């Protein structure tokens, strides 16, 4: 039985932490000393990106924090506005593009993330990661130069994990709580043509790009702490609402994050007069404060910290006008919508396509509200709770 000692458990006071597997572990620690939460993020992240690659035949990346993805994406080329909002220079590789997008979903939440890559980490991707604050990475392999770049992070303590891409888990998952062992069949859901065979709204057709976004959002939910709702657009998540007791709160959280993602592409934000010596993370924090000011720390009141001149605030009318131009966003939910209020909120964030299991006693009201908003909705029949 192979056993790997960990730094500690979920918290420093929880010692005697380790993982083991009778048949041998499918991972190798190439650098650093791995932690309990690191491994939960790594193994969940790896499942997500490997399934995205299998489903969409594109390199995939995920940015995990506390066992939920802050963002996930596949390698769809960046638009000019996306290049500006992500501060991209040069021509990143497809895998690097996937990580830039995954990190770009919610850069504030991704601060100190654990990264999962579907493919061998190349120099282009490692160069992007080298500039970010991150705790570690899991991938099926690393180019020699990429590995050297990553080993230099965190003064040589950056956690680097290599996983066997051919490893397949057992049929059943087990965990222990209070000395009691829980066992269940692994969740083997994978989106297929059948997933999108039951459109329940008046509108029924979706373009290929939307199918990609719906697959992406459904698989992201499969590895997101429930309740959860995920919005996606152009090959990446734009807002993940995780771990809420109320589905409406999930929807609000995911939509609020997606709104900020879209607003970051407005000319007003892209032309903010940043000081030259700011780090990328300082720019990200300034943008989030600019778009959703904290009454205690208003970036406009403290503009000298970030900008060469005081920028004009974005008014509520400007926000509404810009968001009214957003359309074609996809939304998936890990369980049915119990009330149509979720659809009303989603419509304000440009959602045009919805995938959810169906099965509520108010399905007719939810579908009716989707029709009022001109959406296409699918009942997938698959609940995706993750705990």
Say which CATH number the domain at 225 has: 3.40.140.20
Residue owning tokens 């790896």? 46
Phi, psi of 219 (to 5 degrees): -70, -35
Give the range of the structural domain holding residue 354, as residue numbers without chain letter: 179-263+323-379
386 among known catalytic residues: no
249 among known catalytic residues: no
Residue pair 196/214 in contact by the 8 Å Cβ criterion: yes
Residue pair 382/357 in contact by the 8 Å Cβ criterion: yes
Residue segments in the chain with a per-residue pLDDT below the cut of 70: 293-297
Phi, psi of 197 (to 5 degrees): -95, 0
3-state helix, strand, coil in the chain (%, to 5): 35, 25, 40
- 225 and 292 in a single domain? The answer is no
Q: How many domains is the chain partitioned into structurally?
A: 3
**Coil/strand/helix, residue 353:** strand
- 198 and 330 in a single domain? The answer is yes
Question: What was the pLDDT predicted at 363?
Answer: 92
CA atoms within 13 A of residue 346's CA, in its CB half-sphere: 37
387 located within any domain? no
227 among known catalytic residues: yes
Domain boundary among 141, 168, 195: 168
Q: How many CB atoms lie within 10 A of CB 131?
A: 12
pLDDT in tens, 228-243: 999 999 999 999 999 9
63 located within any domain? yes
- 26 and 96 in a single domain? The answer is yes
How many angstroms separate the first and last alpha carbons of the chain? 27
Distance CA 137, CA 62 (A): 10
Residue of 31, 38, 44, 65 with catalytic role:
65
Residue of 7, 66, 203, 268 with catalytic role:
66
- 276 and 159 in a single domain? The answer is no
> What sign for the dihedral angle of Cα 360, 381, 222, 173?
positive
Residue 243 is classified by DSSP as S
Task: Give bridge partners of residue 48 from the DSSP assignment.
Answer: none
- 161 and 28 in a single domain? The answer is yes
CATH code for the domain in which residue 301 is found: 1.10.287
- 144 and 54 in a single domain? The answer is yes
Peptide bond preceding 164: is omega within 30 degrees of 0, i.e. cis? no
66 among known catalytic residues: yes
pLDDT in tens, 331-367: 999 999 999 999 999 999 999 999 999 999 999 999 9
Residue 382: C-alpha distances to residues 198, 309, 323, 359 (Å): 12, 52, 31, 10
Residue pair 31/159 in contact by the 8 Å Cβ criterion: yes
**Coil/strand/helix, residue 237:** strand
Question: What was the pLDDT predicted at 296?
Answer: 66
Copy the structure tokens of residue 9.
Answer: 């458990």
Residue of 31, 38, 44, 227 with catalytic role:
227
Distance CA 61, CA 68 (A): 13
pLDDT in tens, 189-198: 999 988 999 9
Distance CA 334, CA 241 (A): 11
Residue of 22, 155, 276, 387 with catalytic role:
387
Question: What was the pLDDT predicted at 349?
Answer: 97
pTM: 0.94
| CB-based contacts of 14, cutoff 8 Å, min separation 6 | 8, 36
**Coil/strand/helix, residue 135:** strand
Domain boundary among 124, 140, 168: 168
Distance of CA 135 to the CA centre of its chain: 16
**Across 111-218, where does the E strand assignment appear?**
113-117, 134-139, 159-163, 172-177, 180-185
- 336 and 363 in a single domain? The answer is yes
89 located within any domain? yes
């Amino acid at each position: 039985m192979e056993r790997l000692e960990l730094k500690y458990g979920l918290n420093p006071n929880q010692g005697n932490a380790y993982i083991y597997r009778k048949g041998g572990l499918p991972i190798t620690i190439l650098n650093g000393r791995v932690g309990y939460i690191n491994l939960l993020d790594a193994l969940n992240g790896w499942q997500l990106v490997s399934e995205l690659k299998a489903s969409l035949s594109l390199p995939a990346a995920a940015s995990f924090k506390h066992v939920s993805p802050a963002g996930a994406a596949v390698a769809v080329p960046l638009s000019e506005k996306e290049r500006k909002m992500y501060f991209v220079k040069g021509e990143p590789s497809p895998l690097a593009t996937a990580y830039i997008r995954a990190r770009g979903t919610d850069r504030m939440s991704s601060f100190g993330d654990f990264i999962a890559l579907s493919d061998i980490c190349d120099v282009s991707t490692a160069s992007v990661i080298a500039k970010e604050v991150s705790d570690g990475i899991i991938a099926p392999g690393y180019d020699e130069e990429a590995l050297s770049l990553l080993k230099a992070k965190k003064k040589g303590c950056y956690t680097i994990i290599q996983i066997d891409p051919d490893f397949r888990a057992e049929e059943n998952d087990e965990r222990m709580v209070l000395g009691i062992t829980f066992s269940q069949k692994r969740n083997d859901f994978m989106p297929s043509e059948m997933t999108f065979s039951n459109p329940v709204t008046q509108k029924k057709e979706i373009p290929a790009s939307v199918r990609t976004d719906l697959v992406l959002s459904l698989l992201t939910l499969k590895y997101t702490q429930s309740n959860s709702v995920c919005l996606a657009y152009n090959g990446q998540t734009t807002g993940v609402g995780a771990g809420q007791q109320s589905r409406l709160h999930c929807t609000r959280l995911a939509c609020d994050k997606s709104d900020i993602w879209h607003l970051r592409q407005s000319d007003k934000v892209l032309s903010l007069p940043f000081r030259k010596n700011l780090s990328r993370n300082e720019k990200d924090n300034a943008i989030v404060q600019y778009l959703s000011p904290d009454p205690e720390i208003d970036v406009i009141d403290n503009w000298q910290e970030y900008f060469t001149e005081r920028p004009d605030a974005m008014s509520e009318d400007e926000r509404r006008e810009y968001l009214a131009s957003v359309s074609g966003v996809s939304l998936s939910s890990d369980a049915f919508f119990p009330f149509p209020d979720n659809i009303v909120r989603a419509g304000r964030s440009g959602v045009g396509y919805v995938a959810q299991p169906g099965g509520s006693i108010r399905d007719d009201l939810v579908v009716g509200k989707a029709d009022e908003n001109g959406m296409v909705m699918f009942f997938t029949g698959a609940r995706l709770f993750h705990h």
